[in-house]
Amino acid sequence: MLDYKRSELGSTSCGRSIFHWGKQTYVMGVINVSPDSFSGDGLADVEEAVARAKRLVSEGANIIDVGGESTRPASTPLSPDEELRRVLPVVEKLARTISVPLSVDTYKLEVARQALNAGADMINDIWGLQKEPRLAELAAQKGVPIVLMSNQRGSSCHDIVSAVISDLKRAVKQALDAGVPRESIIIDPGIGFGKTQEQNLEILQRLEELKALGRPILLGSSRKSFIGWVLDLSPEQRSNKVTFIPPDDQRLEGTAATIAIGIAKGADIVRVHDVKEMARVCKMSDAIVRGM
């Protein structure tokens, strides 16, 4: 078991909050303002998105992550203007109405810039600076944390954990070189992004190896297709081909298992759709793993 009592990760300031790594697992609630979200929870109405965010905060979310572009396999990328049209009104309103920090889930420079100006407190980059290196400069300039995710889409590798660690090392160095303080960097192994179903499981099995990078780990396993694959809820995916099958509530227990094991393996923050249930999983897991 990892020694959380001697965590050397320190803390990260985000908006009006401070995340003290190692003391608890933090919960990131997901708000998708994209009608084709892989998780089946996409919203098109600003008021509905704001209402959901408020509910997630009441259920235990420590941070809200707002994204306008679907990240499901084979989805069509949005123009920056369209992404801003979806995201900006939600960020503007949430910044005025909720107390927890806001993260913007984007890899586009102008979307991130305008979202931060509108009140967002963190950048969540699913491409780990591969698509837009200037996001690191923006994070440094604005003094906000940045999540760097390892994304293997368009590539293949034999040893997935070594590939993820190497990619994250590259991204962390890039961010540091751009002036982002080390304490403002969070890493994400990128469950589901260009990995096979077996590789997703292997990342969870070996998640503690990412601790060598010395930064807090964000785990985004919620409702992902490998859960349906393991539980035989999506038999079509046994071929290991990436196929879009909207998840349903049958993935809740599988998600809970990945969260609990992820915490035992070193996860510091979990990005989830079902906040009430997963906040309880985090609290119980923390009591066991962190000795709280």
- Which CATH number among 3.20.20.20, 3.40.390.10, 3.20.20.70, 3.30.70.1050 corresponds to the domain 11-289? 3.20.20.20
| pLDDT at site 212 | 96
| pLDDT at site 234 | 60
Which residues are known catalytic residues? 224, 271
| pLDDT at site 38 | 45
Residue 11's DSSP bridge partners are: 20
| pLDDT at site 77 | 85
| pLDDT at site 243 | 47
β strands within the chain, DSSP E = 11-14, 17-20, 26-32, 63-67, 102-105, 122-125, 146-149, 185-188, 218-219, 269-272
Q: pLDDT tens digits, the chain, 292 residues: what are they?
A: 565 544 689 999 999 999 999 999 999 999 999 875 444 455 668 899 999 999 999 999 999 999 999 876 667 789 999 999 999 999 999 999 999 999 999 999 999 999 999 999 999 999 999 999 999 999 999 999 999 999 999 888 889 999 999 999 999 999 999 999 999 999 999 999 999 999 999 999 999 999 999 999 999 999 998 998 999 876 544 444 444 455 556 899 999 999 999 999 999 999 999 999 999 999 999 999 998 6
| pLDDT at site 39 | 44
CA dist 200 and 189 (Å) reads 9
CA dist 28 and 188 (Å) reads 13
